Structure 1
Amino acid sequence: MTPEVVMDLLGNAFYLTVVIVALIVGPSLAVGLLVSMFQAATQINEQTLSFLPRLLITLGTIMFAGGWLLTQFMDLFNRLFMQIPHLIG
């Protein structure tokens, strides 16, 4: 196994990790920003106000994109398992 192959495998894994995290956390950050702007405009300083919308958006995102994310994750591991004979041989 050459260093180029290892870097390619790690690059694919890190890329998938970044995509998964960005897809799940991104909408939550946007909703948190909107709630924070609302709180600043109305001067409501309740810390728990932003929790429920962010939680619901995060769960909704996982429900909506979970199948695609799971497919991408499974494809990565299938490619890794299929390459094992080529990597050690």
Structure 2
Amino acid sequence: MNSQLVLTMGQEALWMLLMISAPVLGVVLVVGLLVSIFQAVTQINEATLAFVPKLIAAIAVFTLAGPWMLGMLVEYIRRTIEAIPASVM
């Protein structure tokens, strides 16, 4: 196993992490921003008002994009496991 292969595998792992986490983080970011704007406009300073909508949004994204995320992860793990014999030699 040479250093180029290790760097390529690490790069693919980081790219996969970004691809899988981006939908959830993006939606939670937008919901958090909207709730913060709402709190600033109405001057309501309640911590649960910021937490509950983000939690519901994250659950909704996991429900909708969960199968896609799982499929991407399974495909990546399958490719990684299949590459083990070629990288040992």
Q: TM-score, normalised by structure 2?
A: 0.95
Unaligned 5+ segments in structure 1 are none
Moved more, 17-26 or 65-74: 17-26
Q: Which residue of 2 aligns with 1:11?
A: 11
Q: Structure 1 counterpart of 2:57, which letter?
A: I
Matched, 1:28 2:28: yes
Q: Which residue of 1 aligns with 2:71?
A: 71
CA distance in 2, matches of 1:80, 1:32: 36
| Root-mean-square deviation over aligned CA pairs | 0.8
Q: TM-score, normalised by structure 1?
A: 0.95
Q: Which residue of 2 aligns with 1:56?
A: 56
CA distance in 2, matches of 1:20, 1:81: 19
Matched-pair identity in %: 37
User: Aligned residues, how many?
Assistant: 89
* SS class of match (2:44): coil
Q: Structure 1 counterpart of 2:23, which letter?
A: L
Unaligned 5+ segments in structure 2 are none
CA distance in 2, matches of 1:53, 1:8: 38
Give the C-alpha shift of residue 43 in structure 1: 0.8
CA distance in 1, matches of 2:20, 2:71: 11
Give the C-alpha shift of residue 3 in structure 1: 0.8
Question: Following superposition, which runs of at least 4 residues in structure 1 exceed 2 angstroms of deviation?
Answer: none
